[in-house]
Chain A
Amino acid sequence: MAFLFYLLSGIALLSALMVVLSKSPINSVIYLIVCFLSIAGHYILLNAQFLAVVHIIVYTGAIMVVFLFVIMLLNLNKTNEPHKSVLTKFMAVISGGMLFLVLIAAAKGVNEMIVAKEFDANIGLVANLGKVLYTDYMIPFEASSVLFLSAMIGAVMLGKKDKK
């Protein structure tokens, strides 16, 4: 199990780095798909099967395919990134590195801490998830319908062809 965890984490980190580093957008998207798949593997290790499947269907299946289509249809597959000055890059590295340092330093002592909640291996199963979603988390679940409705209206409103 531990070996699998480290393998998946390694793939996830490497592919996430490649998303940023690769020049062509298509390669970035494909690396992102690899990254999402390895994260789905983490969910399976945690016995969260529903989450893993939803993650694969929604992110890798739907969203990333749409990304690919957009990049291909709009012919964005050119490597003409706007040139950034050395100063900007330097500042970005400094600020990003500082955030990284803070997070690493903060996460360093986590292993010795008291566990806030014991891990329940059954929590990720569909039946338990459904029970929690329709009892305790009823209101957020219902409220997010308003959110999705407004997103849908937005897609129609902005996507519809209006004459000037």
Chain B
Amino acid sequence: MFSIITIAITGVLLLYLGFLKNRWIYISVAITGLITALALSVFSWNSLETSFSNMLIIDNYAIAFNSVMIFATILIFLLAPHYFKGIEKNVPEIYALLMFSLAGACMVTSFDNLTMLFIGIETMSIPLYILAGSKKFSIRSNEASFKYFIFSSLATAIFLLGITLVYGMVGSFHVGDISNYFTITKEIPSILKVGIVLLVISFGFKIAAVPFHFWAPDVYEGSPTLITAFMATVVKIAGFAAFYKLLSTCFILVPDSWHHLILGLSVLSLIIGNLAAIKQKDVKRMLAYSSISHTGFMLFAILSFNSFSASSLLYYSFAYALSTIAAFGVLMVVKNHMSADGSVQAFEGLAKKNPILAIVMTISMLSMAGIPITAGFFAKYYIFVSAIQGGWLWIVIIGILAALVGVAYYLKLIIAMFAKTSETEKIVTSPLYITSLLVATVLILIAGVLPNLIISLI
């Protein structure tokens, strides 16, 4: 609870600090606030907190996901001063909106009442509509903002209808009451099942699972790269944490209703995400499709509820966040400096003049592909183990095939960086920037060598 308050207050503070017109003050205040929030979150470990008439429940599950999200935001903020170099307009507002969005994300993971879930999702999404369009003079950014707004509003409407139908049958918004209803009631009315299906559909929009993914590539491509990194990590992790929590606490006892849906979403995301990613020329678009395929993998955890799936989802989120931030971080500077369009060609020969960036990108790509000693390997391994324990062997086989297809396009980028020789210039970056990338990379390797640090948490 205190970490959510800290994040929101830091956001308000940043708005006022905008008068000082000093970008180092913004960034230091933002990072201090985030580190305080992270510390508050971590120190409340094991102290179960249910506050204010069961609206929020801050258990270890919520704390673990909140900490991952706050940490990812810290890494993104470390990239920010370099990204906004030369742009003076609206920077404190953008930082404040990122903070508010993070506050919403932290509410989403710790909801204990569907009202709170709704408010959290909206608090998380509304700043993002603005942030996606924050490059005001770029038509692609405007398009991204509008598209995200329309799709996300539709998803919200579906979500509300779902909540309404559930409330109409159960008579309560409280998670505990809803799960009690299913232990008592044997014959579940079909309108309640429709409500659950609508909830699943709306979450499908939020986490960009096929066939609700159409907004994702355009929005990821059009938004400013820093915002895309935030969207692809924090928002997606929050969506998954909430989705998992909603289904595992409220609807776990509903027989044979949503499992088929999740199955379909997962398989389609794996197949279409990976196949579409191969054909992409633009790296940002490729990463968008790869994030759709990661959605497919992460849905395995929801498919196979057991004692292991929550921690495998956490580990996957952590690994995915680190490698995505590292990849987008490198993409950001390459796109700006090479005066290219961010296609794979822009990466050609990067290793010659910019070995650090090339190594960071390589490790992050290897981690996304799931090559051993990076975190991505154990992420996929644990999520497969969890699925096999749940009895979904044939899904795991599709997953392994999809991962193999994935290696192809990740390797394409690595080969472009190392093998191709073309004239490139040295990219100048700031120390904070390099720190963020190196922290992410080192953590990918540490988490890959010592997976028990995270997997045994929840």
Contacts and interface: CB of A to CB of B under 8 A. Distances in A.
Interface of A: 102-103, 105-107, 109-110, 113, 116-117, 135-140, 143-144, 146-147, 149-151, 153-154, 156-158, 162, 164
Contacts of A106: 189-191, 193-194
B52 to A, nearest CB: 5
Interface string B1-43: 0000000100110010000000000000000000000000000
Interface residues of B, number: 44
B189 A150 contact: no
Which secondary structure dominates where chain A touches chain B? Answer: helix
B116 A150 contact: no
Given A136-B53, A146-B100, A154 B130 contact: yes
B130 A147 contact: no
A45 B323 CA distance: 56
B119 A154 contact: no
Given A106-B190, A162-B89, A140 B130 contact: no
Contacts of A137: 53, 55, 115
A102 B119 contact: no
B119 A140 contact: yes
Which secondary structure dominates where chain B touches chain A? Answer: helix
Identify the interface centre among A109, A144, A150, A164: most chain B CB within 10 Å of its CB: A150
A140 B191 contact: no
Interface in B186-221: 189-191, 193-194
A146 B104 contact: yes
A118 to B, nearest CB: 9
B67 to A, nearest CB: 20
27 contacts: A105-B190, A106-B194, A109-B190, A116-B170, A116-B172, A135-B53, A137-B53, A138-B52, A139-B52, A139-B116, A140-B115, A143-B119, A143-B120, A143-B123, A144-B123, A146-B103, A146-B104, A149-B12, A150-B96, A150-B97, A150-B130, A154-B97, A154-B126, A154-B127, A154-B129, A157-B93, A158-B133
Nearest to A154: B130
Contacts of A110: 189, 191
Given A116-B168, A140-B116, A102 B194 contact: yes
A147 B15 contact: no
Contacts of B127: 150, 153-154
A107 B191 contact: yes
A37 to B, nearest CB: 21
Contacts of B115: 137, 140
B301 interface: no
Nearest to B12: A149
A143 B101 CA distance: 12
Nearest to A136: B53
B100 A149 contact: yes
Given A153-B127, A157-B130, 16 more contacts: A105-B190, A109-B189, A116-B168, A116-B170, A136-B53, A139-B52, A140-B115, A146-B100, A147-B100, A147-B123, A150-B126, A153-B130, A157-B90, A157-B93, A158-B136, A162-B136
B75 interface: no
A150 B123 contact: yes
Interface string B164-188: 0000111110000000000000000
A116 B171 contact: yes
B376 to A, nearest CB: 33
Nearest to B107: A143
A109 B96 CA distance: 49
A79 to B, nearest CB: 22
